[in-house]
Amino acid sequence: MTSRSIPTITLNNGIAIPQIGYGVFQTPPQETERAVREALEVGYRHIDTAQAYRNEEGVGAAVAASGLPREEVFLTTKIWITNSGEERAARSIDDSLRRLGTDYIDLLLIHQPFGDYYGTYRAMEKALAAGKVRAIGVSNFFPDRFVDLVQHVEVPPAVNQMETHVFNQQADNRAWYAKYGTALESWGPLAQGRNNIFTHPVLSAVGEKHGKTAAQVALRYLIQLGIIVIPKTVHRERMVTNLDVTDFRLDDADLQAIAALDEGVPLTLITEAVFARSLSAMKEERVAASAELSGPKKTFAGDRAAFLSDLHDALYAAKIVSYAQGYALMRQAAHTYGWNLNNGGIALMWRGGCIIRSVFLGKIKEAFDRMPNLTNLLLDPFFKEKVLTAQSGWRSVVASAVTNGIPVPSMSAALSYFDGYRTERLPANLLQAQRDFFGAHTYERVDRERGTFFHTNWTGKGGDTSASTYTA
């Protein structure tokens, strides 16, 4: 493997960046030089570090020891939040240059959107003009912060480094970054090992098809989306395999299967059911905790028969919501991949199983026969009437469970979904305003078109930009 096989991406200022880099996040300073030297030996030419990693010296020493010309190694570092503000950031840039042992940094990023990052960015623009930096950008800037920053700077960010992997594909956010010609760079492209990514059945199946590992498939997927990846490992053999992802290409079927890992549709009942199973498995720990943690005394003085009827309604309504969420996911997937799904037929197919034999699966078929483009099962006349009729008992059961300290995660999650789905303006509207008040997050307004962001001087003591410090 040589560096010549690594694809490059041209940034919005004309600078070419290797699309596969080597990250040193959480690499101990004493181990960094060895790891980076090996990475350079196996073919990496893009090294990503940060002031906060406290290993810039090791990176610089490895580059110097490699014997490679400086122009052949692309160096990225990031300004930490304690160095925010124009003056501190300017000093920190010179400190990073010294620690890296170089006259220039190829890519300089704001590490996180905290503190006076406007001042930080001004210092970066000046460093760019002075030739100390070749390209500047940001890290961990979601669209609200990103768009707000872009409106207040002279040089648009060349890169936004975000947590991006097959389980968090940034699908909606990518359009915002692309609008300004900002490349997306993935930190944690292997999800930091979460969700069994190295043995995930979908990724493994695609890997078997191409003679590659699940990890290589995950990296290749991001590369084909035009995303820069910076996998991290201290093991030489994994450095090699992480770099060995340029000799195969995922086809449309592969891409669709992997894209389905992140559809962005809330399946709260499934999530809560999985969590409940995990908690149930912690038997010994729960037994020990029960001796230390107490809850309310369980009491019931009502009509048992009436409560059992309420329980029936609660279970019934929660099951309807579960199917509604499942069909919402299939609807989104069909939209994404151009599928023409027979939703009614799918319901009847489920009835042929050995476990799922719900009577109202037939009613689901009837619902889609009536309205083939039904957006949500809750809007079908039959299911709407059933849920509205059941909600009184449903609420009573959930309230009784909470009052008596009995966990009903899926049933309560179903009710929260129902209440959220039926509400025009959610508490999140107020929450967003509070975030703007305390943390200078921008927000959208209901009286303006979507995609227009605002910041308000809520206290009368802050400035006109969202980087101001409030003293409320």
428 lies in a domain? no
User: Which parts of the chain sit beneath pLDDT 50?
Assistant: 1-4, 463-472
Shared domain check, 198 and 320: no
426 lies in a domain? no
H or E stretch at 77? strand 74-79
The helix-helix angle for 143-150 and 117-129 (nearest 10°) equals 50
pLDDT for 470: 33
Shared domain check, 119 and 72: yes
Q: Containing domain of residue 361, as a range?
A: 268-292+302-421
Compute CA 91 distance to the chain's CA centroid, rounded to the nearest angstrom.
Answer: 32
21 lies in a domain? yes
pLDDT for 156: 96
Q: Which residues of 433-453 are buried (b: 16+ CB within 10 A; e: fewer)?
A: eeebbeebbbbeeeeeeeeeb
224 lies in a domain? yes
378 lies in a domain? yes
Shared domain check, 215 and 178: yes
Closest Cα to residue 163, out of 246, 232, 266, 88?
232
Shared domain check, 371 and 334: yes
Shared domain check, 458 and 333: no
Cα separation, 402 vs 413, in Å, equals 13
Beta carbons within 8 Å of 75's beta carbon, 6+ residues apart: 47, 49, 59, 63, 100, 102, 105, 106, 107
Shared domain check, 451 and 346: no
Say if strands 22-23 and 46-48 run parallel, antiparallel, or are unpaired.
Answer: parallel
Q: Give the CATH number of the domain where residue 416 resides.
A: 1.10.1040.10
349 lies in a domain? yes
Cα separation, 95 vs 76, in Å, equals 14
Shared domain check, 151 and 244: yes
pLDDT for 461: 58
Q: pLDDT digits over 396-438, tens only?
A: 999 999 999 999 999 999 999 999 889 887 776 666 667 666 6
427 lies in a domain? no
- Token pair 């206290």 is found at 459
Shared domain check, 146 and 73: yes
Give the chain's domain count.
Answer: 3
Q: Give the CATH number of the domain where residue 454 resides.
A: 1.20.5
pLDDT for 1: 38
Shared domain check, 104 and 205: yes
Q: pLDDT digits over 227-257, tens only?
A: 999 999 999 999 999 999 999 999 988 887 8
For the chain, what percent of residues have pLDDT higher than 90?
66
- Quote the pTM value: 0.62
Shared domain check, 167 and 44: yes
Closest Cα to residue 312, out of 386, 407, 378, 419?
386
- Token pair 């999985």 is found at 274
pLDDT for 335: 73
Shared domain check, 236 and 133: yes
Shared domain check, 391 and 341: yes
Helices (H), 43-190: 56-66, 86-100, 117-129, 143-150, 171-179
Among residues 259, 280, 312, the one where a domain terminates is: 259
19 lies in a domain? yes
